[in-house]
């Protein structure tokens, strides 16, 4: 006998059933009830008490339910599940708090004037409508671009050495790049102070600031570029060499263009890394109040310095300005980051 | 080979002894159909990967005390099929299935089933030996107990028993505290077999267990398989037809014509190799393709 | 038909393969190697210049520079520094640096490891990508933001927690204090630093966990392991050393932080182990504090302090590297 079997429908019988989901909800509800009861009955109070009690109650109840239904192994798994959930919550919560506070406190300072005025004519107690951070934005821009001009070739060449030449210095260089990424920003500032400002120019300038930023940028660019170059399949290099290309031509005309968007990502991440650095700029740039486009002459403002000085002044208005400055800086960092993400996704799908 | 195993086998199963019985038994195997009540039965098992249909309605019964070999060219779904038997299929993102797999009459995919318990009863040995490198040989063998929080009254006895049945005891009894990774490939695979045995499974799935090993180790493992078959059901996927002929009581031939894989024919091994009913089976076992 | 005499085949020695390098390639190699070695150059220069500048101070203070906690500048009539009477001691600041960074690591590493486990093994695919993005985003936040946010938003809550810790765990020497000043303490600084380094340590841990060999994971599951049992048996032995390396990197970062600590830590020149008390110090923020009004002589002392901090962070990075490289080979 032959039975006609209807065309089968694909399914996932292992996903949670409504009954299983209901049990999970039940566990959390029970934990909430327990924490409310305990708070009402004991002298514990406050949000901290609720959350801690809720966490422990839910783990204990989850453990018990699993133990009864499935045994000790499953019960231990329930405890682990509780802890990792708390872990991710603690890791992610500060981000939301930070974003929320920055927007809330910096929002009032936003206005057209913010982006077009500088602080040369404003005093500490002026309402936030006066003055702006144009000088800060131009200063940051100038310093970052100069830093990039030096850091980019050094960073990319380092990456090329590590991936293409792979000579006998590879291990020490990798270690050095790692060590350089650990240099505290203030130490970089002190170094430029002692090597450039004191002996040579004897005055603070934007260029000095750039040099310190450059030191902080190089490791980021080098590391990201190295990762990107490693992703280029070796067939590409072999094809170049098989066509009779010399090594430098192969690298310059085949490998690097293939990694183009990834290298741009590396540069963007390098910029994001230094855009918010404060300590070296405090030591080296003087934090000017007016727009100064000359990096070699005179103090230059920057977003981090603007924020720092406003915060230091302590008045209600200046603190509001500081928050606005933070908001602008955050928007810039976010934009850079999103751009870098977008570029690296595109590269993968191409 | 077949006759020997018949004598050793657990007589509480209803093992068909002729091809026509096998054919008739297969006919009843729609999902929801009548179950044998014991052993492992697959009923109309389909599998998909992200919408792509890769297994087409496989129905097979595996009687306890037998060794069944699954043969067929690469890519026709044999490994996917055995992964549906111990619910490892669902780990792959985008995996879906349909049909039933009955263990002692109960569908292992039924909602509310504790999947870890299923895997204790249906063990698996992989193609590439994978002992835990951070554990000693003894710890490796007993790792299944530790992972599932099982208690045993006599650890040393269990350890010796499993290593003995896996054919490894004499070679490692003096270095039970050496690292799991310090053995040769063949020894590592036998260690993995011993490890699977410690949790006392009813069924042992073996996914091309000898393909990464040299012929000497392969022979040792085949000996192990025949000894083990007296106390459990073994299902072995293999590319090596001679191995299937040496080791198994029943053989099932899988084939895919570019679409989902299906099972073309199943029967006692001697008959599949000498008098296959389907031409495709005949072409494969005589080496005309594959 | 003649039988060819069979001689044992002479196996030839391998030939040395050489190629005459083109000039352009030689230049290329030279340029690239120079670029690669520039990090050596820069690091070396940093060491040299800071030592050069701080040499006088180090010589006159001797070991007292690192062991003493007094920072008093004594000038003679003409405004020059009297090196015999002046004392520059950064012990309190060094201890403070290590203390704040240790608190940060103690808080951040468990959270980061748990979060990384969640992201790798527990997160539903839909939210995993999103969460990874926002954690990576937080790694890019400027430190001045953490300092100011820490001062205005976190400190009140941190004060509350500190009071609780003092109330219930005050018998422990760390949590005891003579004077009930809870604001701007090493504890608060540690919490802010922890929040700063969580993204980095989580990222590193996540990458390591993600590289756990799949065949071992499958072996554990095939034996009937639950998710946690698998993690305990396979992931943790595999990832242990890498996570320690990541934690040390976070430690190094926390040690060198300046502005994030400056706002939330009250600098006092006395070694303070009572983490809840509002007094402490951190070499980096001390440098920042003193720099504004420092005369030439004092600046040299600050350079020496910077040198000490630099060597400390180099050491930590070195140890981190060593741990990852050496213990990584075994048990993997």
Contact assignment for C223 to B119 by CB distance below 8 Å? yes
Contact assignment for B98 to A5 by CB distance below 8 Å? no
User: Cα C234 vs. chain centroid, distance in angstroms?
Assistant: 27
Residues A138 and A99 in one domain: no
Residue C174: pLDDT band with limits 50, 70, 90: confident
Give the whole-number percent of chain A exceeding pLDDT 90: 19
Q: What CATH number is given to the structural domain containing A216?
A: 1.10.3720.10
Cβ neighbours of A328 in C, within 8 Å: none
Question: Which residue bears the tokens 């991936």?
Answer: A163
Looking at the domain assignment, is residue A166 inside a domain?
Answer: yes
Q: Which of A123-127, C310-314, C317-321 has the lowest mean pLDDT?
A: A123-127
Give the other-Cβ count within 10 Å of C74's Cβ.
11
- Count of CB pairs separated by less than 8 Å, A with C: 263
State the residue range of the domain holding A79: 19-108
Q: Which of A2, A9, A14 to mutate to test the interface with B (most CBs of B within 10 A)?
A: A14
Q: Which of B94, B147, B200 to mutate to test the interface with C (most CBs of C within 10 A)?
A: B147
Residue by residue, DSSP assigns B11-24 as TTS----SHHHHHH
Q: Give yes or no for A342 touching C (CB within 8 A).
A: no
Per the model's pLDDT, the better-predicted residue between A231 and C217 turns out to be: C217
Residues A244 and A95 in one domain: no
Looking at the domain assignment, is residue A114 inside a domain?
Answer: no
Residues A100 and A190 in one domain: no
* Spatial distance between the Cα atoms of A323 and C18, rounded to a whole number of angstroms: 64
Give the whole-number percent of chain C exceeding pLDDT 70: 91
Residue B77: DSSP 8-state: S
Q: Which residues contact B42 (CB under 8 A, 6 or more apart)?
A: B29, B58, B59, B60, B61, B62, B81, B84, B85, B99, B100, B101, B102
Q: Return the structure tokens found at C199.
A: 């993204």
Taking alpha carbons only, the member of A162, A143, A115 closest to residue A284 is A143
Q: Which of A240-254, B51-65, B131-145, B167-181 has the lowest mean pLDDT?
A: A240-254
Tens-place pLDDT, residues C18-41: 777 777 778 888 888 888 888 888
Q: Is the pLDDT at B7 greater than 70, yes or no?
A: no
Q: Which residues contact C16 (CB under 8 A, 6 or more apart)?
A: none
Q: Return the structure tokens found at A69.
A: 């239904």
pLDDT of residue C131: 92
Q: Which of B89, B93, B98, B150 to mutate to test the interface with A (most CBs of A within 10 A)?
A: B98
Residues A275 and A152 in one domain: yes
**Who among B46, B95, B147 is closest to A8 (CB)?**
B46
Residues A94 and A191 in one domain: no
Cα nearest neighbour of A190 on chain C: C303
Looking at the domain assignment, is residue A127 inside a domain?
Answer: no
**Who among A3, A12, A73 is closest to B96 (CB)?**
A12
- The tally of domains found in chain A comes to 2
Residue C11: pLDDT band with limits 50, 70, 90: confident
Q: Is the pLDDT at C6 greater than 60, yes or no?
A: no
Contact assignment for C125 to B93 by CB distance below 8 Å? yes
pLDDT of residue B19: 45
Q: Is the pLDDT at C125 greater than 70, yes or no?
A: yes
Q: Is the pLDDT at A122 greater than 70, yes or no?
A: no
ipTM: 0.86
Residues A58 and A156 in one domain: no
Looking at the domain assignment, is residue A140 inside a domain?
Answer: yes
Contact assignment for C39 to A323 by CB distance below 8 Å? no
Tens-place pLDDT, residues C145-158: 999 999 998 888 88
Q: Return the structure tokens found at B246.
A: 């040496």
Residue C65: pLDDT band with limits 50, 70, 90: confident
Q: For the residues A118-144, what does the mean pLDDT come to?
A: 77
Looking at the domain assignment, is residue A226 inside a domain?
Answer: yes
Contact assignment for C223 to B91 by CB distance below 8 Å? no
Please report the domains of chain C, with CATH numbers, ordered by start residue: 92-326 (1.10.3720.10)
Q: In what order do the strands lie in the sheet with B52-62?
A: B52-62, B40-49, B95-103, B106-107
Cβ neighbours of A8 in B, within 8 Å: 44, 46, 57, 98-99
| Residue pair C268/C281 in contact by the 8 Å Cβ criterion | yes
Give the whole-number percent of chain C exceeding pLDDT 90: 27
Cα nearest neighbour of C238 on chain B: B134
pLDDT of residue C183: 79
pLDDT of residue B20: 46
Contact assignment for C219 to B126 by CB distance below 8 Å? yes
Q: Which residues contact A76 (CB under 8 A, 6 or more apart)?
A: A63, B149, C226, C228, C229
| Residue pair C236/C217 in contact by the 8 Å Cβ criterion | no
Q: Give yes or no for A199 touching B (CB within 8 A).
A: no
Taking alpha carbons only, the member of A186, A192, A218 closest to residue A207 is A192
Looking at the domain assignment, is residue A129 inside a domain?
Answer: no
pTM for this predicted structure = 0.86
Cβ neighbours of B110 in A, within 8 Å: 13
Per the model's pLDDT, the better-predicted residue between C248 and A109 turns out to be: C248
DSSP bridge pairs for C267: C280
Q: For the residues B245-254, what does the mean pLDDT come to?
A: 92
Residue C101: pLDDT band with limits 50, 70, 90: very high
Cβ neighbours of C125 in B, within 8 Å: 93
**Who among A87, A153, A276 is closest to C115 (CB)?**
A87
Tens-place pLDDT, residues C203-233: 989 988 998 999 999 999 999 999 999 999 9
* 3-class secondary structure, B111: coil
Residue by residue, DSSP assigns A183-241 as S-HHHHHHHHIIIIIIIII-S--HHHHHHHHHHHHHHHHHHHHHHHHHHS-HHHHHHHH
Residues A188 and A329 in one domain: yes
Q: Which of C106-110, C112-116, C305-309 has the lowest mean pLDDT?
A: C305-309
The number of residues making up chain C comes to 332
Q: Is the pLDDT at C169 greater than 70, yes or no?
A: yes
pLDDT of residue C328: 54
C-alpha dist (Å) from residue C242 to B165, C198, C217, C321, C325: 38, 15, 18, 9, 9
Q: Is the pLDDT at A47 greater than 70, yes or no?
A: yes
Q: Which residues contact C13 (CB under 8 A, 6 or more apart)?
A: none
Q: For the residues C124-146, what does the mean pLDDT come to?
A: 90
**Who among C215, C226, C233 is closest to B116 (CB)?**
C226
* Spatial distance between the Cα atoms of C113 and A34, rounded to a whole number of angstroms: 29
Contact assignment for B116 to C224 by CB distance below 8 Å? yes
Cβ neighbours of B91 in C, within 8 Å: 218, 221
Residues A333 and A185 in one domain: yes
Residue B28: pLDDT band with limits 50, 70, 90: very low
Contact assignment for A8 to B110 by CB distance below 8 Å? no
Contact assignment for A8 to B44 by CB distance below 8 Å? yes
Residues A320 and A243 in one domain: yes
C-alpha dist (Å) from residue B37 to A303, B13, B18, B64, B105: 76, 9, 21, 12, 4
pLDDT of residue C3: 56
Give the whole-number percent of chain B exceeding pLDDT 70: 87
pLDDT of residue C31: 83
Tens-place pLDDT, residues A175-225: 888 888 889 999 999 999 888 888 887 788 888 889 999 999 999 899 888
Chains near B with 3+ CB pairs less than 8 A apart are A, C
The number of residues making up chain A comes to 350
Residue A109: DSSP 8-state: G
Contact assignment for B130 to C219 by CB distance below 8 Å? yes
**Who among A14, A69, A72 is closest to B90 (CB)?**
A14
| Residue pair B67/B117 in contact by the 8 Å Cβ criterion | no
pLDDT of residue A5: 52
**Who among C125, C216, C224 is closest to B148 (CB)?**
C224
What's the mean pLDDT when you consider all of chain A?
84
Residue B88: pLDDT band with limits 50, 70, 90: very high
Q: Give yes or no for B92 touching C (CB within 8 A).
A: no
Residue C327: pLDDT band with limits 50, 70, 90: low
Cα nearest neighbour of B109 on chain A: A13
pLDDT of residue A169: 81
Rounded to 5 degrees, φ, ψ at B235 are -125, 125
Burial class of A6 by CB neighbour count within 10 A (0 to 12, 13 to 18, 19+) = exposed
Q: For the residues A257-280, what does the mean pLDDT come to?
A: 86
Residues A219 and A148 in one domain: yes
Tell me the CB-side half-sphere exposure of residue A91, using CA atoms within 13 A: 35
pLDDT of residue C57: 80
Q: For the residues A129-155, what does the mean pLDDT come to?
A: 86
Residues A156 and A50 in one domain: no
Q: Give yes or no for B88 touching C (CB within 8 A).
A: yes
pLDDT of residue C194: 95
Looking at the domain assignment, is residue A14 inside a domain?
Answer: no
pLDDT of residue B36: 63
Element (H, E) at A127: none
Residues A315 and A175 in one domain: yes
DSSP bridge pairs for B254: B263
Tens-place pLDDT, residues A285-311: 887 777 778 888 888 888 898 888 888
User: Cα B130 vs. chain centroid, distance in angstroms?
Assistant: 17
**Who among A11, A70, A74 is closest to B97 (CB)?**
A11
C-alpha dist (Å) from residue C236 to B134, C205, C226, C241: 10, 11, 15, 9
Taking alpha carbons only, the member of B142, B136, B130 closest to residue B197 is B142
Taking alpha carbons only, the member of B116, B151, A72, B135 closest to residue C226 is B116
Residue C8: DSSP 8-state: P
Cα nearest neighbour of C293 on chain A: A283
Contact assignment for C115 to A194 by CB distance below 8 Å? no
Cβ neighbours of C332 in B, within 8 Å: 133
Per the model's pLDDT, the better-predicted residue between C169 and C154 turns out to be: C154
Q: Which of B196-210, C67-81, C164-178, C288-302 has the lowest mean pLDDT?
A: C67-81
Looking at the domain assignment, is residue A121 inside a domain?
Answer: no
Q: Give yes or no for C314 touching A (CB within 8 A).
A: yes
Q: Is the pLDDT at B18 greater than 70, yes or no?
A: no
């Amino acid at each position: 006998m032959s039975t006609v079997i209807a065309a089968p429908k694909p399914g996932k019988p292992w996903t949670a059933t409504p009954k299983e989901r209901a049990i999970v909800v039940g566990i959390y509800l029970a934990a909430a009830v327990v924490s409310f009861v305990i708070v009402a009955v004991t002298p514990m109070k406050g949000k901290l008490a609720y959350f801690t009690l809720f966490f422990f109650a839910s783990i204990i109840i989850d453990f018990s339910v699993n133990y009864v239904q499935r045994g000790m192994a499953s019960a231990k798994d329930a405890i682990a599940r509780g802890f990792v959930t708390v872990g991710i919550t603690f890791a992610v919560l500060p981000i939301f708090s930070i974003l929320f506070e920055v927007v809330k406190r910096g929002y009032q300072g936003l206005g057209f004037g913010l982006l077009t005025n500088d602080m040369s004519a404003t005093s500490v107690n002026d309402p936030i409508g006066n003055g702006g951070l144009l000088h800060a934005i131009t200063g940051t821009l100038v310093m970052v671009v100069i830093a990039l001009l030096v850091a980019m070739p050094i960073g990319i060449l380092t990456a090329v050495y590590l991936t293409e030449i792979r000579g006998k210095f590879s291990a020490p260089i990798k270690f050095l790049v790692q060590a350089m990424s650990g240099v505290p920003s203030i130490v970089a500032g002190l170094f430029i102070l002692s090597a450039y400002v004191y002996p040579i120019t004897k005055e603070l300038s934007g260029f000095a600031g750039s040099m310190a930023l450059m030191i902080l940028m190089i490791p980021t660019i080098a590391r990201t570029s190295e990762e990107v170059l490693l992703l280029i399949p070796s067939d590409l290099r072999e094809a170049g060499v098989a066509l009779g290309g010399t090594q430098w031509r192969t690298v310059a005309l085949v490998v690097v263009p293939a990694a183009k968007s990834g290298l741009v990502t590396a540069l963007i991440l390098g910029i994001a890394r230094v855009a918010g650095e404060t300590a070296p700029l405090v030591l080296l740039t003087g934090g000017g109040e007016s727009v100064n486009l000359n990096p070699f002459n005179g103090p230059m403002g920057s977003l981090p310095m603007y924020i720092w000085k406003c915060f230091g002044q302590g008045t209600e208005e200046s603190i509001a300005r500081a928050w606005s400055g933070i908001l602008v800086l955050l928007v810039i960092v976010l934009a850079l980051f999103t751009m870098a993400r977008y570029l690296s996704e595109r590269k993968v799908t191409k | 080979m077949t006759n020997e195993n018949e004598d050793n086998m657990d007589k509480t199963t209803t093992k068909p002894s002729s091809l026509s019985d096998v054919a008739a038994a297969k006919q009843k195997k729609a999902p929801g159909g009548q179950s044998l009540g014991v052993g492992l039965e697959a009923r109309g098992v389909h599998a998909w990967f992200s919408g792509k249909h890769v297994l087409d309605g496989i129905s097979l019964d595996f009687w306890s005390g037998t060794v069944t070999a699954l043969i067929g060219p690469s890519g026709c779904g044999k490994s996917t099929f055995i992964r549906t038997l111990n619910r490892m299929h669902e780990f792959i993102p985008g995996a879906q299935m349909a049909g039933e797999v009955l263990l002692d009459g109960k569908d292992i995919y039924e909602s509310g089933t504790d999947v870890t318990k299923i895997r204790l009863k249906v063990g698996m040995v992989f193609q590439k030996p994978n002992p835990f490198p951070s554990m000693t040989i003894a710890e490796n063998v007993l790792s299944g107990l530790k992972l599932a929080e099982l208690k045993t009254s006599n650890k040393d006895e269990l350890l010796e028993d499993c290593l003995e049945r896996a054919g490894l005891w004499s070679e490692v009894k003096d270095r039970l505290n050496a690292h799991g990774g310090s053995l040769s490939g063949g020894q590592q695979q036998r260690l993995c077999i011993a490890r699977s045995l410690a949790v006392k499974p009813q069924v042992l799935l073996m996914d091309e267990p000898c393909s990464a090993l040299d012929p000497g180790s392969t022979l040792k493992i085949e000996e192990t398989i025949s000894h083990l078959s007296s106390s459990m059901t073994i299902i072995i996927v293999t590319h090596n037809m001679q191995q299937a002929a040496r080791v198994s009581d029943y053989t099932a031939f899988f084939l895919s014509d570019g679409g989902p894989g299906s099972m073309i024919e199943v029967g006692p091994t001697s008959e599949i190799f000498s008098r296959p009913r389907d031409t495709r089976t005949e072409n494969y076992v005589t080496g005309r393709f594959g | 038909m003649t039988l060819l005499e069979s001689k044992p085949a002479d196996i030839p020695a391998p030939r040395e393969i050489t190629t005459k390098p083109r000039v352009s390639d030689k230049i290329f190699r030279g340029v690239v190697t120079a670029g690669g070695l520039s990090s050596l150059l820069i690091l070396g220069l940093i060491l040299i210049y800071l030592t050069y500048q701080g040499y006088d101070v180090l010589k006159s203070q001797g070991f007292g520079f690192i062991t003493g906690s007094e920072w008093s500048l004594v000038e003679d009539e003409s405004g020059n520094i009297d090196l015999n009477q002046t004392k520059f001691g950064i012990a309190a600041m060094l201890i403070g640096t290590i203390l704040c960074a240790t608190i940060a690591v103690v808080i951040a590493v468990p959270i980061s490891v748990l979060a990384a486990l969640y992201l790798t093994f527990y997160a539903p695919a839909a939210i995993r990508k999103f969460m990874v993005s926002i954690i990576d985003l937080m790694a890019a936040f400027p430190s001045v933001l953490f300092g100011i946010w820490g001062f205005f938003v976190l400190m009140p809550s941190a004060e509350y927690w500190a009071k609780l810790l003092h109330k219930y765990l005050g018998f422990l020497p760390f949590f005891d204090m003579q004077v009930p000043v809870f604001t701007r303490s090493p504890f608060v600084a540690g919490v802010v630093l922890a929040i700063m380094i969580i993204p980095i340590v989580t990222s590193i841990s996540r990458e390591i966990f993600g590289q756990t060999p799949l065949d071992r994971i499958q072996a554990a599951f095939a034996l009937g392991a639950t998710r946690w049992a698998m993690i305990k048996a396979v992931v943790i032995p595999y990832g242990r050393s890498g996570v320690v390396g990541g934690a040390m990197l976070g430690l190094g970062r926390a040690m060198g932080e300046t502005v994030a600590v400056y706002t939330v830590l009250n600098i006092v020149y006395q070694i303070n182990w009572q983490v809840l008390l509002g007094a402490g110090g951190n070499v980096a923020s001390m440098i920042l504090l003193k720099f504004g009004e420092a005369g030439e002589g004092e600046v040299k002392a600050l350079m020496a302090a910077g040198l000490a901090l630099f060597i400390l962070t180099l050491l930590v990075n070195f140890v981190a590297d060593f741990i990852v490289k050496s213990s990584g080979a075994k048990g993997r």
